[in-house]
Structure 1
Amino acid sequence: MNRNCLKIRLYPNRAQEHALEATLETCRRVYNSLVNDRKYQFETAQVSVGRYDQQAYLPAWKKSHPELKSVYSQVLQDVVHRVDLAFKAFFDRVKKGETPGFPRLKGEGQYDSITFTQNDSFKVGDSTIRLAKIGQMKAKLHRQPWGELKTCTLRRINNKWFACLCQEVEPELLPPSTEAVGIDMGLKTFAALSNGEFIDNPRFFRKDEKALAKAQRKLAKQKRGSKARKKARKVVSRVHERIRNRRHDFCHQNARRVVNRFGVIAVEKLSVRNMLGNHCLAKSICDAAWSQFRIVLTSKAENAGREILAVNPAYTSQDCSGCGYRPDGREGRTKKKLSDRWHLCPMCGLSLDRDTNAAVNILALGQQSLTSVEA
């Protein structure tokens, strides 16, 4: 069984929207109270409070704070769970020797989602969704859920409301394919395939960079706390949302094409976080969204029964895919620079695009690892 998420647009009426806003604000205050409680307990009594300890606070808090009764109990328990996850991540970073940031309090408007963790607390209809303590609201379902529903997360994005339905589904296996492909990620082109094909780099952020800068300049000129500033902030947020939506659609569309066509897919195991240390390329790397594409590609491949292989990309751009010759800088073996976009092997004479050569090497490494595992 696999889990996937179905995202649908919600259209609450005015009363329901007020109820949702009040629920978010109540959950934000509960979240901050739980964070402060953990900090206070540790500083005063050196006691580490756990998830179930704090979950036991809720019945007493409901008696002293009647507004908590308007929030479904499972939603409040999920707030406790989120605090617990934040502290676990904090302590994990401490153990790894990193410089962790202590879990922060949520400011006004920063808590933007709630989760119903039991499927009896929400019900999905043909064009509606019913939520406990909220009521039935209109929804735009591009398709009905086809698996067993597990959770429902409501999220506010730019004053729009969405429901993310998590469901367990059976894998949708595709017909077998004997084709195999290696994929080399890049910046000049988004991806080069080992068969010589390329996926163009759309550069969504670069295209909207001027519009974003203009919106941010207008925001900076507005007085803090004014209505004009809130309006300008929505414009900035909308530009970011448009970029994010286009990038999301691009990754899903191209990942689906690759999965439908190829039975074995070899990709690079890139450490994108380390690559962002190059300030000259950091913006372009973030705009390319390599990690997002790989996550989507892996998910679709596993659900379709395809073989997805992640290989170490070391020397894949330097080695010749024809004879294996590697320029190591010694005895006249000049390494290829990043500006060298064409591969011309001095040993076997192989001539092809640099990224295509790397993709062929990635495919060879993937097939090699697959053979060793089967053996």
Structure 2
Amino acid sequence: MLETLRLTRRLYNAGLEQRREAYRKQGKTLSAYDQQRELSALKAECPEYAEVYAHVLQDTLDRLDKAYKAFFRRVKRGEKAGFPRFKPAQRWNSFRFKQCWDNKKNDWTACGRPVDDGRRISLPKIGAVRCRFHRPLEGKPKTLQIVLDVDEWYAVYTCEVPVSPLPETGSAVGVDVGTRYFAITSDGEFVENPRHLGKSLRKLRVQQRTVSRRQKGSHRRQKAVRQLAKTYRRIRRSRQDFHHKTARKLVREHDLIAHEDLKVSNLVPSNLARSISDVGWRAFLDILRGKAESAGRVVVRVPPQYTSQRCHACGHTCRENRDNEVFRCVSCGHEDHADHNAAKNILARALPSGENGGSHAVA
């Protein structure tokens, strides 16, 4: 598997160099299909690539093509766009089998089939690899990605599963996300912010200083880098676990969930950059939409303008209504927690009779 990683990374970098040179010398833009047609010649010239499954090589060039398309898409939108870069070993940690299921035969292909009573999985050109499934696979497996996470290997299956609607609850809720509290609902529930990164900053500083003191290229530096990566992995996993549990609770209890249509990338360059990155709003909202779609729920994104300044009781909107966490309307005197008042406004905008005539985007 390490050799497959090495060869696919070399192929990605070679494909990138070929595209750059073709455009610089001939003004020609190569496609993924153009490069994939040359794989047979590559295997004849470099026999080591014949030991890598064809779909894995094709997917590597597809990834390069997606990187190019994403770059030009950002340029077209006027966003900050970084040109595709050559991948060092530290930034290349996975390869993918594009097809695990044969629809005509309604059976597994050669990729990813569980063997030996589910204790191993079959990987073409690699062998039967020992695997521990944390839960049974559901639906039809579509793709299989093999991921190296620091010092652990993972088999990530993408499966096509039918929608499993949950029983209707008749409840709708608005959710306001923040950094003081992770989420505040229109029902008055305050979800504490676990601050996964903040609690580990001291340990991270010590480990990062240790890395900087080690000589580059030494085994001691590699060991220190692995320890630092494991700490970041623990933080990432804790955050993901919290996101999944919070999203699942909302989906289980409500038929409609409304939240602000936040542009998180515009909020990060501020004095709250670390706190916003730590809380992970964008990842949480993506997880929430995925779980809601699977459960037959509706997630509504509403415009975020003035939700924290508008009085839910009378509709008066001005900056003076809010003083940090206290909301006190200067028009009618209504008092509430500022984020709770904002969550009520978010829900009101999501309902058909809400503000702006119920205009919203449904995810």
User: Normalising by structure 1, what TM-score?
Assistant: 0.89
The Cα offsets for residues 309-345 of structure 1, whole Å up to 9 and x where unpaired, read as 11011111111111111125xxxxx3535xx211122
1:45 to partner: Cα distance: 1.1
Counterpart for residue 69 of structure 1 = 50
Does the C-alpha gap of structure 1 residues 151 and 348 become closer, same or farther in structure 2, counting only changes over 3 Å?
Answer: same
The Cα offsets for residues 196-237 of structure 1, whole Å up to 9 and x where unpaired, read as 111000000000011111100000000010000100000110
Counterpart for residue 138 of structure 1 = 130
Does the C-alpha gap of structure 1 residues 342 and 372 become closer, same or farther in structure 2, counting only changes over 3 Å?
Answer: closer
Does the C-alpha gap of structure 1 residues 321 and 153 become closer, same or farther in structure 2, counting only changes over 3 Å?
Answer: same
Equivalent residue runs for 1:351-366 within 5 Å = 351-366=335-350
Counterpart for residue 107 of structure 1 = 88
* Distance (whole Å) between structure 1 residues aligned to residue 218 and residue 165 of structure 2: 54
Contact 2:310-2:321 within 8 A present in 1 as well: no
Counterpart for residue 325 of structure 2 = 341
Q: Out of 263, 269, 280, which is 2:261 matched to? A: 269
Equivalent residue runs for 1:8-87 within 5 Å = 20-87=1-68
Does the C-alpha gap of structure 1 residues 39 and 197 become closer, same or farther in structure 2, counting only changes over 3 Å?
Answer: same
Count residues with an aligned counterpart.
Answer: 347
Counterpart for residue 309 of structure 2 = 318
Does the C-alpha gap of structure 1 residues 373 and 206 become closer, same or farther in structure 2, counting only changes over 3 Å?
Answer: closer
Structure with the bigger RCO (C-alpha within 8 Å, sep 6+) is 1
1:372 to partner: Cα distance: 5.0
The letter of the residue matching 2:135 is R
Check if 1:150 corresponds to 2:142.
yes
Task: Report the secondary structure of 1:174's partner residue.
Answer: coil
Contact 2:148-2:154 within 8 A present in 1 as well: yes
Task: Report the secondary structure of 1:199's partner residue.
Answer: strand
Check if 1:283 corresponds to 2:274.
yes
Counterpart for residue 225 of structure 2 = 233
Q: Out of 66, 70, 83, which is 1:89 matched to? A: 70
1:99 to partner: Cα distance: 4.4
The Cα offsets for residues 236-294 of structure 1, whole Å up to 9 and x where unpaired, read as 1011101000000000001001100011111111111111121x101101111111111
1:110 to partner: Cα distance: 2.5
Q: Which runs of 4+ in 1 moved over 6 A?
A: none
* Distance (whole Å) between structure 1 residues aligned to residue 120 and residue 29 of structure 2: 43
The Cα offsets for residues 56-112 of structure 1, whole Å up to 9 and x where unpaired, read as 110001011010011000000001101111111222233233443221111134211
Counterpart for residue 207 of structure 1 = 199
The letter of the residue matching 1:362 is I
| Bigger mean CA deviation after superposition, 156-165 or 120-129 | 120-129
The letter of the residue matching 1:170 is P
Contact 2:93-2:147 within 8 A present in 1 as well: yes
* Distance (whole Å) between structure 2 residues aligned to residue 345 and residue 291 of structure 1: 31
Counterpart for residue 368 of structure 1 = 352
Identity in percent: 38
1:352 to partner: Cα distance: 1.4
* Distance (whole Å) between structure 1 residues aligned to residue 82 and residue 310 of structure 2: 42
1:350 to partner: Cα distance: 2.0
User: Normalising by structure 2, what TM-score?
Assistant: 0.92
* Distance (whole Å) between structure 1 residues aligned to residue 245 and residue 50 of structure 2: 44
Counterpart for residue 6 of structure 1 = none
The letter of the residue matching 2:6 is E
Task: Report the secondary structure of 1:161's partner residue.
Answer: strand
1:369 to partner: Cα distance: 6.9
The letter of the residue matching 2:346 is I
Contact 2:214-2:221 within 8 A present in 1 as well: yes
Does the C-alpha gap of structure 1 residues 97 and 267 become closer, same or farther in structure 2, counting only changes over 3 Å?
Answer: closer
The letter of the residue matching 1:92 is R
* Distance (whole Å) between structure 2 residues aligned to residue 141 and residue 221 of structure 1: 40
* Distance (whole Å) between structure 2 residues aligned to residue 116 and residue 99 of structure 1: 32
1:347 to partner: Cα distance: 3.0
* Distance (whole Å) between structure 2 residues aligned to residue 158 and residue 211 of structure 1: 18
